[in-house]
Structure 1
Amino acid sequence: MAAFATAEAVDNNAALIASGDLRCLQPMFQMYGQRRCFSGPILTLKVFEDNVIVRSLLETKGEGRVLVVDGGGSMRCALVGGNLGQLAQNNGWVGIVVNGCVRDVDEINGCDIGVRALGSNPLKSSKRGHGEKHVPVHIGGTLIRDGEWLYADSDGILISKTELSV
């Protein structure tokens, strides 16, 4: 992927910002993984302290997509670890954004994907299989819909209704 600058995208798309078609997530995420810059169509997931569905989605072909996991902002356990980071890389996902925690940070940092999360926690999540796929999620006051586009770099994360020119 060509280098993409979120700040430049904001500067060049004032009308999209004004209309709400281009939104910026609050700066609350830590950066993990080898890709500091990544973008792709979004697949949404809503779970709470349970990562069974996270794994099931990452076992599918990513095809350049970004998995956005609304974990309710829980910091009590991790939703993504090193094994899931490797699985995402192997299956062609470009990134994962977690409104929650990750674990196995050194392993995730070895993966050729971009990961954003609120922080890290060594505790595993439960394994009940509860959650919803392909639903609108609210993260940091921003509505994110399945099929929208995510752009992330060192400056932050943008959500766009449509694919932007890179």
Structure 2
Amino acid sequence: MPADCLMYPASPLPPAELVGRLERLASALVSDGSGRWAGATGLGPIAGLKPGQVVVGPAFTVRTRPGDNLVVHKAMDIARPGEVLVVAAGGHTDRALLGGLMGQYAATKGIVALVVDGAVRDRSDLDRVSPPVFATGLTHLGPYKNGPGELRGPVSVGGVVIRDGDLLVCDEDGVAVIPRHRAEEITSAAEAKFDSEAAERRAIAEGTWDRSWIDAALAVREVS
């Protein structure tokens, strides 16, 4: 008997101009611009990410049972170019939800990143043929294919709620999440933070970086 797969409507894709602006930033800047709580913790780059690369795209959300990738296969079949596949599997790392073959297939579909709240495998193959992969772990043990699951519904990944169409900014530091209804606000805040840090770098190089705030924030008591 076929397993249930609930599928919600697809969200509108973001403007290419907005994606381009975010690609010039970083997950840390986005996190700062959203109050420093936009990060999906525990997810790190596993494979396929070039040094300094920032990957940006709207989330295609997938909810599956731990260790089962049936609906992940379906998601790859219908994902649109430019989307980030976000797989919520409870953070379990006892079974890999995808490996080299699925990574290669994702690349042919134009998926720009794979974010897996669970384990993956075939790291060398993923490095070679897959879009960048972010996951909570690695294991050689393969998945089940029994279902059930949900596509494009709200998920929880790394302690953050992600809704289909939310923007993800993924780089060497991890994965930051921008709710789609706050995309312009948070992007502008991250750009302002980028400019502020650029000014601080210039001050460091010139020996004029203002450090007075540290003593203002501390009551230092010398101990003899």
Please, what TM-score do these two structures have when normalized by structure 2? 0.65
- The one of 166, 178, 183 equivalent to 1:160 is 178
Q: Which structure has greater helix proportion?
A: 2
Unmatched runs of 5 consecutive residues or more in structure 1: none
Q: 2 CA distance for matches of 1:50 and 1:28? A: 19
| Correspondence for 2:160 | 142
- The one of 123, 126, 130 equivalent to 1:105 is 123
CA RMSD of aligned residues (A): 2.0
SS in 2 for 1:83: helix
- The one of 40, 56, 73 equivalent to 1:39 is 56
Identity of aligned residues (%): 33
Q: 2 CA distance for matches of 1:143 and 1:92? A: 24
**Structure showing greater relative contact order (alpha-carbon pairs closer than 8 Å, 6 or more residues apart):** 1
| Correspondence for 2:74 | 56
SS in 1 for 2:38: strand
- The one of 139, 142, 149 equivalent to 1:124 is 142
CA-CA distance at 1:8 after TM superposition: 2.6
Count of matched residue pairs: 160
SS in 2 for 1:24: coil
| Correspondence for 1:8 | 29
CA contact (8 A) 1:30 1:119 kept: no
Q: Deviations over 1:89-136 (max 9, x none)?
A: 001000011010101111101125111011111111111131111121
Unmatched runs of 5 consecutive residues or more in structure 2: 1-19, 192-224
Q: 2 CA distance for matches of 1:134 and 1:70? A: 11
Please, what TM-score do these two structures have when normalized by structure 1? 0.86
CA contact (8 A) 2:46 2:123 kept: no
- Structure (1 or 2) with the larger CA radius of gyration: 2
